[in-house]
Structure formats: C-alpha cells, structure tokens
C-alpha cells in the first residue's frame, strides 16, 4: 500500500516572493496538510540575487504570515539538492506553479531529474491563476529598479524592501 503524502515543498528562489508565488503556496496548502516553502540559496544564479538568502526567507515569512490561508506555512532556507532537502524535511511532494509552456519544459526537466534521484518524491504542477500568468520575480525587480510601483504584484513588506533596495 502506498503512503499518503501529507507534507509538500514549494521550492524557489523567491527573489522576491510575489502574489503569484503566494497563490501557489495557498493552493498547495489546500491540498496538503503541511507545506514548507523552501527558499533556495541559488548560488549559481547568473547575476546573483537581489536579496540575500536570509532576506528572502524573512520576506517570505512576513508575506505568508500576513496572507490568509498561508499563516501556518513553514519557510526554510535550502542549500544543496532539492531531493536531499525533501528527505530531511520528510516531504513527499514538490509543488510548482506553471505560467506558460516555457515553464512546463523547464519544470518537466527538473521533475525528471528529481525522479531519477528519488523515485518517491512526487512532482505536482498547478496552473497559474490567470491574473498571475505574466508575473515573475524578474519583472517585479525590473519595475522596482526603475522606481515603478510594484504594490499590485507583491505584498507591502516586499514592496517596501524593494523600494529600500533600489533607492
């Protein structure tokens, strides 16, 4: 008999966390009784990250604590392989949001690799809510870097952090 999965990870760089990310977390929380947001160190990310790992963890915690339906979601920093982190956390699934075909191709490759490393780790994909289909952290960072208003795309704590970073 196959075990029921009661803990899922929502991994990502979250540089910064957006309303699109929060939507995926909220939907994962509706499916699984325990959800952990795994904020990846992303050491090899081209150009680095705008916020440090610690800042991204803090912003994600603050954003989720202030969002109905995600208040009880854990947020942890993650270094190393996702499959190893999933084992450490005793999580049986990874939940990823998909916006477009390009997301699907990338996420399918990642899911295939994760399966090769751990056949017990399930990959679950949720389609982006239409209002977030265009939204990405990189777009938010670009708008903020030019002094644009990002309050439509991110929680207030994130908008404040972005304004402070790009002043």
Sign for the CA dihedral angle at 45, 78, 150, 158 comes to negative
Domains of the chain and CATH, by start:
7-165 (3.40.50.620)
Q: Which of 136, 122, 56, 119 is nearest to 94 (CA)?
A: 122
Q: Which two tokens stand for residue 61?
A: 């915690």
pLDDT mean over 110-131: 96
Query: What is the average pLDDT value for the chain, to the nearest integer?
Result: 94
**pLDDT, position 130:** 92
pLDDT of residue 167: 83
Write down the pTM of the prediction.
Answer: 0.94
Query: What mean pLDDT do residues 9-15 have?
Result: 97
pLDDT > 90? residue 27: yes
For 60-69, write each residue's pLDDT tens digit: 999 999 998 8
What are the backbone dihedrals phi and psi of residue 98, each rounded to the nearest 5 degrees, phi first? Answer: -120, 130
Q: What is the mean pLDDT of residues 90-119?
A: 94
What average pLDDT does this structure show over 123-141? 94
For residue 39, pLDDT over 80 is answered with yes
Which residues lie below 8 Å from residue 83, measured CB to CB, with a gap of 6+? 114, 117, 118, 121
Positions marked catalytic: 21, 45, 99, 137
73-85 mean pLDDT: 97
How far is it, in rounded angstroms, from Cα 144 to Cα 163? 7
pLDDT at 158 exceeding the cut of 80: yes
- pLDDT range class, residue 42, cuts 50, 70, 90: confident
Predicted confidence band at 1 (pLDDT cuts at 50, 70, 90)?
A: low
Through-space distance between the first and last CA atoms of the chain, rounded to whole angstroms: 57
């Amino acid at each position: 008999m196959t075990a029921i999965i009661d803990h899922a990870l929502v991994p990502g760089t979250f540089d910064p966390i957006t309303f699109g990310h929060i939507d995926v977390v909220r939907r994962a929380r509706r499916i699984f009784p325990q959800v952990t947001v795994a904020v990846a160190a992303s050491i090899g990310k081209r150009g680095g990250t705008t916020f440090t790992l610690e800042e991204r963890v803090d912003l994600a915690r603050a954003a989720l604590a202030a969002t109905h339906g995600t208040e009880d979601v854990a947020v942890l920093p993650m270094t190393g392989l996702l499959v190893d982190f999933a084992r450490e956390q005793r999580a049986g699934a990874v939940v990823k949001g998909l916006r477009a075909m390009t997301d699907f191709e990338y996420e399918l490759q990642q899911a295939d690799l994760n399966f090769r490393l751990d056949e017990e780790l399930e990959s679950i994909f949720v389609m982006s809510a239409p209002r977030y289909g265009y939204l990405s952290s990189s777009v938010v960072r670009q708008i903020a870097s030019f002094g644009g208003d990002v309050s439509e795309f991110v929680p207030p704590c994130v908008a404040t952090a972005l304004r402070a970073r790009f002043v």
